[in-house]
Amino acid sequence: MTEILSNKDGEAENPNAVEQMKTGQARRKRLFSAVQPSGTLTLGNYIGAIRNWRMLLDEYDCIYALADLHTLTVRQNPADLRRNTYALAALYIASGIDPEKCVLFVQSHVSAHAELSWILNTITYPGELQRMTQFKDKSRSHADNVNMGLMDYPVLMASDILLYGADLVPVGADQKQHIEITRDLAIRFNGRYSDTFIVPEPYIAKSGAKIMSLQDPSKKMSKSDPNPAAFISMDDSRDTIIKKFRRAVTDSDTTVRYDEEHKPGVSNLLTIYSVITGKSIGEAEAEFCGKMYGEFKTAVGEAVADVVDPIREEKNRILKDKAYLDNVFKNGAESAGRMAKRTLSKVYKRVGLVQAMP
């Protein structure tokens, strides 16, 4: 697991950064992201998040978390939550998120996340949280459980990010609001107590950032969709994946071309095919020029199955080795904890709390 060193100011520092300073290279930027272990992820989650994370490992110092505390804003079956946490970690690793090249940990294993949230709550205003789109949406969909954790979700997310001095946070195009409030809180704290936090920037992938439903391309692909044909689960079999794509909604036209306004279904499939195969949209359009929709949809399904199938098999293999995953969690929490403790100690000092003796 990556060892975290300290520079002369006591800041967390990756050994790669030390080597870069020796050779005269600039320090690599740090990147943080997290996903809730709330069930099976979809192809949209893979394309919009995990796939990008893998590709960022060699460019940034990456910190990735399993955001189990965030899941508690919606009622969870405890056994399912534990099982889903292991399954998500196995999926990360099977997808190429190598725990030897990044810090991979469970959010609740580092208590500083909850501790910093309390401090940030003291500079957060109720109106800011009530305006958050996710709070409004979840309040409608979970009207019987509108809890304070649901409202406070963005503050915990801000704590997740600010604890690690993240320069960049990969987000979907529809999640920029969470980064905006994180930036606001960092700037507000720095202005009130002196410079403490790095103000992060959103990192949005140039393509494939938002994958739409296969049955209603006006909606984002979601595992909570009541129609299972609308989404591709990362646990779907090869045959299931191909069948779902064959049933995907397109239009009454017969031309495979990208046009989000008039051909949202075809455009969504072209986006998926482009991201999965590495071909440009133009190359994909040329490949299917003059071909029927049935052939096009089958080809997209087969391309996706070629990617998802080996990931699913590797995930299931890793899940059988619980001792390995527990060791990943332990090493990740130790590395993340050292970084988080430095930040939290600085915050406590800034706000005037008497420091506990070691």
CA distance 277 to 265: 18
Catalytic residue among 101, 223, 330, 341, which?
Answer: 223
Q: pLDDT at position 358, please?
A: 75
263 strand-pairing partners: 259
Who's near 269: CB < 8 A, 6+ residues apart? 245, 248, 250, 296, 297, 300
Q: With cut-offs at 50, 70 and 90, classify the pLDDT of residue 303.
A: very high
**Are the CB atoms for 54 and 31 separated by under 8 Å?**
no
Q: State the average pLDDT over residues 46-54.
A: 86
Q: What is the pLDDT of residues 213-261, one digit of tens each?
A: 999 999 999 888 899 999 999 999 999 999 999 999 999 988 999 999 9
Q: With cut-offs at 50, 70 and 90, classify the pLDDT of residue 119.
A: very high
Q: With cut-offs at 50, 70 and 90, classify the pLDDT of residue 137.
A: low
Catalytic residue among 29, 210, 220, 315, which?
Answer: 220
Q: pLDDT at position 188, please?
A: 96
Q: pLDDT at position 174, please?
A: 62
Q: What is the pLDDT of residues 138-179, one digit of tens each?
A: 666 666 777 887 888 899 999 999 999 999 998 766 677 778
Catalytic residue among 22, 101, 136, 138, which?
Answer: 138
Residue 138 bears catalytic tag: yes
Average pLDDT, the chain: 88
Q: pLDDT at position 21, please?
A: 32
pLDDT at 339 over 80: yes
Q: State the average pLDDT over residues 76-88.
A: 96
Percent of the chain whose predicted confidence (pLDDT) is above 90: 70
Q: Which residues in 188-223 are b (16+ Cβ under 10 Å) and which e? A: ebeeebeebbbbbebbbbeebbbbbbbbebeebbeb
pLDDT at 282 over 90: yes
Please name each of the domains of the chain with its CATH number: 5-208+322-351 (3.40.50.620), 228-316 (1.10.240.10)
